[in-house]
Amino acid sequence: MTNDHALRRIKSFVLRAGRLSPRQKLGLETWLPDYQLTLGETPWDLTACFGRSADVVIELGFGMGQTLITMAQASPHINFLGIEVHQAGIGSLAAELHDHAIQNVRIAPYDAVDVLQRAIAPNALSGINIFFPDPWPKARHHKRRLIQPDFINLVLKKIKPGGFIHLATDWQEYAMHMLEVLAPNPDLLNKHPGGGFIPRPESRPLTKFEQRGMNLGHEVWDLLFTRK
């Protein structure tokens, strides 16, 4: 059973005040209302939220939003829900969605655990992408890591059978931790035939940050599991 109390108590992120660019401010103040979903007392009707019935994929922690924009443009038949708490990224994404007239993305500017617990109905998702979450490298901070058994069990309640969990990290020790969390779960199937990490799939865009790291010899580890 998912330990909901533990999920609520320990945050996987720290909000830091930062300066916003004029474009980010414009995105937050002018364009975000066009895309934002608001937490309420009942789960969202995702068909109504997007104005159509289609597979829904979450990107949890979309940063500045470039990966989400690229994926949404490449897969217009999929509804994408981006979750992020940092204002700069939320504003940037809202501005980009407006500029490119992208219709298949909605924004949830809240804690991901709150969204999953309160707003997503069981079996409502076709998949969830979590790319480069904070590795919290110090041992005393490992409890803050997002990828934990309780969190994965919560995600599994929201993903339909056959739906996927796609994780990526450039921190090797966290990659091994992720594998150790997902591999023993009886409700998950590793899509790598050998039970390990997969090459970066075409569906995950290569970011500028990732390309710079690769040029310096840094590795990236991808995991792709599906719900049985």
Average pLDDT, the chain: 92
Residues sharing a CB contact under 8 Å with residue 47, sequence separation 6 or more, in sequence order: 53
| Domains delineated in the chain | 4-9+44-227 (3.40.50.150)
CA separation for the pair 152, 141 (Å, rounded): 19
Question: Tens digits of per-residue pLDDT, 131-169?
Answer: 999 997 787 868 889 999 999 999 999 999 999 999 999
Residue 134 is a catalytic residue = yes
If residue 85 lies in a helix (H) or strand (E), which one and from where to where?
none
SS3 state at 184 = coil
Q: Are 108 and 37 in contact (CB under 8 A)?
A: yes
Tell me which residue has tokens 């840094």. Answer: 218
Structure tokens, 212: 């710079």
Residue pair 116/44 in contact (Cβ under 8 Å)? The answer is: no
The residue behind tokens 């949890």 is: 60
Question: Which of 55, 134, 150, 170 is flagged as catalytic?
Answer: 134
Q: How far is CA 126 from CA 33, 101, 156, 162, 228, in A?
A: 25, 24, 11, 8, 13
**pLDDT digits over 79-113, tens only?**
999 999 999 999 999 999 999 999 999 999 999 99
**CB 96 within 8 Å of CB 82:** no
Record the pTM. 0.91
